[in-house]
């Protein structure tokens, strides 16, 4: 099989872009403009969902639509990974998983996720995080994946541990977003274990 030259760089990362992934209960897929209402209602307008995150609450569906339009445009890049978490039962978009801070040479990236408050404590974040971590390491070739959470958000730390991530350190992180947020964070890391070491 011959790979497109832009999909496999000299360092061995095999970028695919955001492709559909499936877990027992969810389909992970690209966002569409038709998802704006679900996104706005389920998390982008929710203060509790934004409380421990680096993004600001959206004041209207129009604001959410602007973001989604950008995401749709970015899907043209084969190194852009941003999934909508959709429920298999009704197709509702109930969260997202995204990859950032890709460092090609180090085969390193960072991962973040959000789940609608009404679906908290149902194991959703753990289920989809495991799937995405496996995909990013097995298919794309990342060797180190980190995630961080606000130190006050212990539930997110539990998700990371259940997904096989290991605590690395606490650190102060500055997010240069609309609110220029300074956050005390816990950092977790995932490294794929070679089959012979399992």
SS3 state of residue 46: coil
- Contact call for residues 71 and 57 (beta carbons, < 8 A): no
Number of domains in the chain: 1
Which tokens belong to 180?
Answer: 């220029």
Note whether residue 46 is domain-resident: yes
Note whether residue 169 is domain-resident: no
Note whether residue 88 is domain-resident: yes
Which tokens belong to 184?
Answer: 């005390």
What is the mean pLDDT of the segment spanning 109-124? 92
**Comparing 52 with 150, which gets the higher pLDDT?**
150
Note whether residue 171 is domain-resident: no
What is the mean pLDDT of the segment spanning 103-131? 94
Who's near 54: CB < 8 A, 6+ residues apart?
175, 177, 181, 183
Q: Please report how the helices 154-162 and 124-135 are oriented relative to each other, as an axis angle in degrees rounded to 10.
A: 50
Q: Residue 37: enclosing H or E segment and its boundaries?
A: helix 36-39
Note whether residue 164 is domain-resident: no
Predicted local confidence at residue 194, as pLDDT: 59
Note whether residue 92 is domain-resident: yes
Note whether residue 198 is domain-resident: no
Percent of the chain with pLDDT over 70: 80
Residue 129: give the domain boundaries. 21-143
**Comparing 42 with 179, which gets the higher pLDDT?**
42
Predicted local confidence at residue 9, as pLDDT: 47
Any idea what the CATH number is for the domain that residue 83 is in?
3.40.630.30
Predicted local confidence at residue 140, as pLDDT: 97
**Comparing 42 with 113, which gets the higher pLDDT?**
113
Going by C-alpha positions, the residue among 176, 72, 102, 61 that lies closest to residue 112 is 102
**Comparing 116 with 193, which gets the higher pLDDT?**
116
pLDDT at 126 over 90: yes
- Contact call for residues 176 and 153 (beta carbons, < 8 A): no
Note whether residue 101 is domain-resident: yes
Predicted local confidence at residue 181, as pLDDT: 63
């Amino acid at each position: 099989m011959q790979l497109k030259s832009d999909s496999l760089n000299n360092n061995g990362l095999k970028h695919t872009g955001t492709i559909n992934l499936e877990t027992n209960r969810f389909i992970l897929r690209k966002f569409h403009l038709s998802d704006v209402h679900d996104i706005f209602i389920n998390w982008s307008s929710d203060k509790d969902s934004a409380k421990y995150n680096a993004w600001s609450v959206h004041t209207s569906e129009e604001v959410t639509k602007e973001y989604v339009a950008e995401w749709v445009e970015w899907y043209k890049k084969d190194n852009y990974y941003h999934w909508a978490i959709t429920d298999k039962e009704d197709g509702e978009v109930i969260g997202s998983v995204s990859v950032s801070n890709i460092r090609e040479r180090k085969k390193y990236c960072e991962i973040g996720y959000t789940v609608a408050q009404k679906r908290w404590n149902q194991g959703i974040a753990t289920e989809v995080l495991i799937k995405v971590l496996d995909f990013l390491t097995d298919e794309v070739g990342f060797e180190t994946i980190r995630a961080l959470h606000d130190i006050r958000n212990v539930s997110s730390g539990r998700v990371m541990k259940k997904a096989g991530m290991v605590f690395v350190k606490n650190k102060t992180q500055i997010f240069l977003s609309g609110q220029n947020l300074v956050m005390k964070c816990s950092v977790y890391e995932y490294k794929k274990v070679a089959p012979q070491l399992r």
